[in-house]
Amino acid sequence: MSLKDKINLQKLPKHIAIIMDGNGRWAKGKGKFRIFGHQNGVKAVKESAEACAELGVSYLTLYAFSTENWSRPKDEINALMELLVSTIRKETSTLQKNNIRLKAIGDLMDLPPKCQRELQEAIEETKNNTRLTLILALSYSAKWDMVNAIKQIAEKAANHQLHPQEINDMLIDQHLSTKDYPHPELMIRTSGEQRISNFLLWELAYSELYFTPVLWPDFTREHLYEAIFDYQQRERRFGKTSEQVLKP
Ligand code: FPP
């Protein structure tokens, strides 16, 4: 029996965020170069997106390249960018077929022009799709996003477009690159590492965190079901007491 049958479709997270980790270790374990791990990670990206779409999860954010990843060896960065371009090019028709809308967050202007072009074309082509929004975090870090938001808010305050007293949670939300999406209820990280690594720091404030030792290229839809099932067993209290949450 698949764990899928145990999932309560009425209690699905609307938004799942994933730190896809362990590609390098997966490749090393097979005596291959790191890029071999990234190439094999694409299969897990596809499976996760398709499984989310089938279940009825509305948003999936994947941490594909962090601001900090720019300090990796040049060869690995180039190979990753090439992989992004070729994957987007190859898979846009699958996104269309599955009614999946592609979006991206991050400092996209830092990506190679070819990558920017390919991404923008796929975003444009899939913009009317409604089943799942797949958000790629590229050249992204939460601190980068928060610094940007603070700059915009400070500028508005300096220009008297808003009063500092008006700054609240909602206003900050509206100035982040994630402003169009609900906060993730569930964040998954593969490969056994138990860190947030500068990913959606603001948006994960009340997310359930799920860590699995599975390396990203080995991550299948069954692993995703397992994470969702685990999430559904948790009591989300948002600072309240258990009794308050359980009250009808
Ligand atoms: C982390 O593993 C993974 C990345 C930095 C890149 C993720 C990219 C992909 C899965 C490929 C393409 C993605 C899309 C969306 C088309 P790591 O290299 O840090 O692994 P390690 O910790 O074992 O070294």
pLDDT tens digit at each of 248 positions of the chain: 789 999 999 999 999 999 999 999 999 999 999 999 999 999 999 999 999 999 999 999 999 999 999 999 999 999 999 999 999 999 999 999 999 999 999 999 999 999 999 999 999 999 999 999 999 999 999 999 999 999 999 999 999 999 999 999 999 999 999 999 999 999 999 999 999 999 999 999 999 999 999 999 999 999 999 999 999 999 877 888 888 887 76
Q: Is residue 7 part of a domain?
A: no
Give this prediction's pTM.
Answer: 0.96
Q: What is the pLDDT of residue 134?
A: 98
- CA distance readout (Å), 33 to 36, 52, 213: 6, 30, 21
Instruction: Give the CB-side neighbour count of residue 193, counting CA atoms within 13 A.
Output: 15
Ligand 1 nearest-atom number relative to CA 83: 12
Our count of domains for the chain comes to 1
Q: Is residue 96 part of a domain?
A: yes
Rounding to the nearest 10 degrees, give the CA dihedral for residues 127, 131, 136, 140: 90
Which amino acid residue places its CA nearest to atom 3 of ligand 1?
Answer: 21
Which amino acid residue places its CA nearest to atom 15 of ligand 1?
Answer: 64
Which amino acid residue places its CA nearest to atom 6 of ligand 1?
Answer: 64
Active site residues: 21, 69
Ligand 1 nearest-atom number relative to CA 66: 5
Q: What is the pLDDT of residue 81?
A: 98
* Contact residues of ligand 1, CB 6 A cut-off: 20-25, 34, 38, 41-42, 45, 62, 64, 69, 83-84, 87, 136, 191, 216
Q: What is the pLDDT of residue 244?
A: 82
Which amino acid residue places its CA nearest to atom 24 of ligand 1?
Answer: 24
Q: Is residue 190 part of a domain?
A: yes
Distance CA(51)–CA(45), nearest Å, equals 10
How would DSSP label each residue in 122-164? Answer: HHHHTTT--SEEEEEEEEE-HHHHHHHHHHHHHHHHHTTSS-G
Contact between 222 and 192 under an 8 Å Cβ cutoff? The reply is no
Q: What is the pLDDT of residue 1?
A: 76
Distance 140 CA to ligand 1 centre (A): 13
Q: Is residue 6 part of a domain?
A: no
Task: Name the residue of 23, 42, 111, 212 to mutate for ligand 1: max ligand atoms within 8 A of Cβ.
Answer: 23
Q: Is residue 177 part of a domain?
A: yes
Task: Name the residue of 20, 78, 86 to mutate for ligand 1: max ligand atoms within 8 A of Cβ.
Answer: 20
Q: What is the pLDDT of residue 159?
A: 98
Distance 43 CA to ligand 1 centre (A): 12
Boundaries of domain holding 179: 15-233
Distance 65 CA to ligand 1 centre (A): 7
Q: Is residue 94 part of a domain?
A: yes
CA angle in degrees (0–180, nearest 5) for 142-42-3: 90
Question: Residue 55: which CATH number?
Answer: 3.40.1180.10
